[in-house]
């Protein structure tokens, strides 16, 4: 498989066609003079312009790649994309030709999309943003990915996520920390925060995430997007790295309700190999686009679940704003009334099964895979192949000793009781939806814990829940309002969200600015040079900058380079991932990367003691076996320069 390099702009198109073996004089029209703006463009707008021949899929791919270069890799450096698809441009040309010769497959034909990095793809690694799985290439596509390819979607790349989906702020050993495009000092939510930030910033038309307890809805709320946690079983999760098979679901995040509906139509349906989808037997698969109705809120009945608003001072701002949004729904014809579920708090407590299933589900997933680079969570922890921010979570979950202990069975019983209580309430009161804040509290600063999630109600009941953009706080931070429905009423929920959207104006794009000219590591390696790494530590600010270069085919494909802690005789976690200059290419043995990180006092001490080393993860060294400690050349200067050398023979 050859790799295509990405160069912003259209100047490389002719050489690209030549490289692919295409005839530039072909009657396939792949170059257009129309300057189509992809920022905030809807799928329908792109589809119509493709149909009219006013833009090509290759134009769309190049335009999105240009935005990613400006705003994800440079400028605000959102760091939402973990890997670009090296074949995206080639696929766009193929789909452009198919459109000209055979017509359009549907609304997603030739539309660039993004996938969370826990969706299996046969032509790209699937890592769960874990450096431990950076070399993992699945044999086939996830079920939803297969359906998206059949619909003609172009997979532009993979997005960063909270490592192995085990958190809600999107930080990982392979991808680092993703930033929120509305305020880069804050987190984008998680675990699908890379998808949320990327779609908010218009790096693709639509993106896919997964939700085990809020991981679609929280990024949707934090990034002014629509995100549906579908009814468990409406869409197959086969081929998505599991966190908890009982609670896992997958689906899209989008800038508009209609885009969300288009994405959902492409992926819902029964999968013979996913028993949860048997709920669709003898049931018509919903048509989300057909269900859209500007007047859906009229005469709808909505229950305000007051206990999920919170009563702490930190809950009040968003609680008031959500109530104002509910008032707006009332103005649009909805009948809103306060409702309660007796003992809801105690019913929710202990109802999650993530802690019980994560360790065992990961073992089963890796065991069923061909030649996985690691075999268990224990091995990941033992080898230090995780971000240090994940250590507490991973160590707690690896000590679960039984697959089905009494606490696990009790949690499943609580889920069933909770589901029955919610359904009984809604059916008794003839409610179309329950409503409450997606997040009770504003978005947390990066590095701080994120409180205020209401995710568990939908996750523990398996009932559908939609996060709808509801506006912004006084500090300009997005927030969402959540609608929860009865089983398989997903299309009704999206229709209600569409009605609210069409009669309000809550979608606002982030104010992104391209960066000034950036200085990147650009050392020209001589033919005999195979490795060079330079590190500069600033003692006054505790900042460590890194620049590394490799040029040795014997390393194989280089998937990641990181800085790793050494805990005496034990190996610690990853403190920094040195990002490649071009995430769309993985040339054999070639790598250029830079990074910048602030070290806490404890890590500074480890640095000075020689307790940090450079680790290379490649097809030859999938577990980071190639390591070298960082050593200080001159400790008498305020500016310390460090050099690492590796014997790669």
Known catalytic residue at 215: yes
Contact assessment for residue 418 and residue 456, using Cβ atoms and an 8 Å cutoff = no
| Range list of β-strands (E), 197-316 | 206-211, 226-229, 249-254, 301-305
Output Rg (C-alpha) for the chain, integer angstroms. 24
> Among 227, 221, 230, which residue's Cα sits nearest to residue 188?
221
Contact assessment for residue 497 and residue 255, using Cβ atoms and an 8 Å cutoff = no
Among 57, 134, 173, 191, the active-site one is: 191
Distance, CA of 210 to CA of 253 (rounded, Å)? 10
Residue 586: strand pairing partners: none
Q: In terms of DSSP bridges, do strands 154-159 and 112-116 run parallel, antiparallel, or are they unpaired? A: parallel
Query: Contacts from 395-399 at CB under 8 Å and sequence distance 24+?
Result: 396/355, 397/166, 397/355, 397/358, 397/359, 398/359
Known catalytic residue at 116: yes
- Residue 613 neighbours by CB under 8 Å, 6+ apart: 563, 564, 566, 627, 628, 629, 630, 644
- Residue 471 neighbours by CB under 8 Å, 6+ apart: 321, 325, 478, 479, 506
> Among 548, 579, 521, which residue's Cα sits nearest to residue 160?
579
Q: Which residues of 125-154 are buried (b: 16+ CB within 10 A; e: fewer)?
A: bbbbbbbbbbbbbbeebbbbbbbbbebbbb
Among 73, 116, 147, 328, the active-site one is: 116
Residue with tokens 């179309």: 432
Distance, CA of 335 to CA of 156 (rounded, Å)? 42
Q: How many CB atoms lie within 10 A of CB 77?
A: 17
- 526 class by beta-carbon count within 10 Å (0-12 exposed, 13-18 middle, 19+ buried): exposed
> Among 596, 629, 631, 636, which residue's Cα sits nearest to residue 614?
629
Give the SS3 label for residue 471.
Answer: strand
Among 80, 173, 202, 215, the active-site one is: 215
DSSP string, 515-556: --PPP-------TT--EEEEEEEETTTTEEEEEEEEE-GGG-
Active-site residues, by number, are: 116, 191, 215
């Amino acid at each position: 498989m050859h790799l295509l390099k990405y160069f912003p702009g259209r100047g490389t198109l002719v050489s690209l066609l030549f490289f692919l073996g295409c005839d530039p004089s072909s009657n396939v029209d792949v170059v257009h003079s129309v300057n189509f703006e992809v920022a905030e463009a809807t799928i329908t707008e792109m589809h119509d312009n493709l149909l009219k021949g006013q833009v090509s899929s290759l134009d769309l791919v190049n335009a999105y790649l240009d935005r990613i270069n400006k705003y994800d890799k440079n400028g605000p450096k959102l760091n939402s994309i973990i890997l670009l698809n090296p074949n995206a441009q080639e696929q766009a040309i193929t789909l452009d030709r198919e459109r000209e010769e055979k017509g359009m497959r549907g609304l997603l034909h030739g539309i660039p999309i993004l996938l969370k990095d826990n969706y299996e793809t046969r032509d790209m690694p699937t890592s769960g943003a874990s450096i431990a799985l950076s070399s993992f290439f699945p044999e086939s596509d996830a079920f939803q990915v297969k359906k998206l390819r059949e619909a003609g979607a172009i997979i532009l790349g993979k997005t960063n996520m909270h490592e192995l989906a085990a958190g809600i702020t999107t930080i990982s050993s392979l991808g680092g920390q993703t930033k929120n495009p509305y305020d880069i000092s804050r987190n984008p939510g998680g675990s699908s925060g890379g998808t949320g930030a990327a779609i908010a910033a218009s790096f693709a038309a639509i993106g896919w995430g997964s939700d085990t307890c809020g991981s679609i809805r929280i990024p949707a709320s934090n990034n002014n997007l629509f995100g549906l946690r579908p009814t468990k079983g409406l869409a197959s999760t086969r081929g998505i790295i599991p966190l908890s098979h009982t609670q896992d679901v997958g689906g899209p995040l989008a800038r508009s309700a209609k885009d969300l509906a288009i994405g959902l139509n492409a992926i819902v349906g029964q999968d013979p190999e996913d028993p949860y989808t048997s709920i669709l037997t003898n049931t018509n698969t919903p048509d989300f686009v057909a269900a859209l109705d500007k007047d859906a809120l009229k005469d709808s009945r909505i229950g305000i679940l007051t206990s999920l608003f919170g009563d702490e001072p930190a809950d009040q701002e968003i609680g008031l704003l959500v109530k104002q949004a509910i008032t707006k729904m009332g103005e649009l014809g909805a009948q809103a009334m306060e409702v309660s579920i007796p003992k809801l708090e105690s019913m929710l407590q202990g109802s999650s099964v993530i802690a019980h299933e994560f360790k065992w589900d990961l073992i089963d997933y890796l065991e069923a895979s061909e030649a996985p680079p690691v075999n268990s969570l224990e091995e990941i922890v033992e080898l230090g192949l995780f971000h240090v921010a994940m250590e507490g979570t991973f160590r707690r979950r690896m000590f679960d000793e039984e697959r089905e202990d009494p606490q696990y069975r009790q949690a499943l019983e609580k889920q069933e009781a909770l589901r029955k209580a919610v359904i009984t309430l809604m059916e008794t009161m003839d409610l179309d939806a329950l409503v409450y804040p997606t997040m009770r509290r504003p978005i947390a600063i990066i590095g701080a814990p994120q409180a205020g999630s209401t995710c568990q109600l939908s996750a523990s009941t398996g009932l559908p829940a939609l996060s709808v953009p509801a506006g912004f706080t006084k500090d300009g931070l997005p927030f969402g309002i959540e609608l929860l429905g009865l089983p398989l009423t997903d299309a009704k929920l999206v229709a209600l969200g569409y009605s609210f959207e069409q009669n309000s104006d809550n979608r606002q794009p982030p104010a992104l600015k391209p960066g000034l000219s950036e200085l990147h590591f650009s050392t020209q390696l001589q033919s005999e040079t195979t490795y060079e790494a330079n590190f500069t530590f600033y003692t006054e600010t505790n900042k460590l900058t890194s620049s590394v270069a490799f040029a040795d085919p014997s390393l194989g494909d280089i998937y990641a380079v990181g800085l790793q802690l050494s805990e005496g005789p034990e190996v610690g976690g990853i403190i920094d991932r040195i990002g490649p200059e071009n995430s769309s290419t993985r040339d054999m043995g070639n790598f250029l990367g830079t990074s910048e990180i602030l070290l806490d006092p404890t890590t500074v001490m480890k640095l000075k003691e020689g307790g940090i080393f450079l680790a290379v993860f490649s097809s030859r060294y999938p577990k980071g076996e190639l390591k070298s400690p960082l050593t200080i050349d001159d400790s008498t200067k305020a500016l310390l320069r460090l050099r690492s050398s590796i014997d790669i023979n």
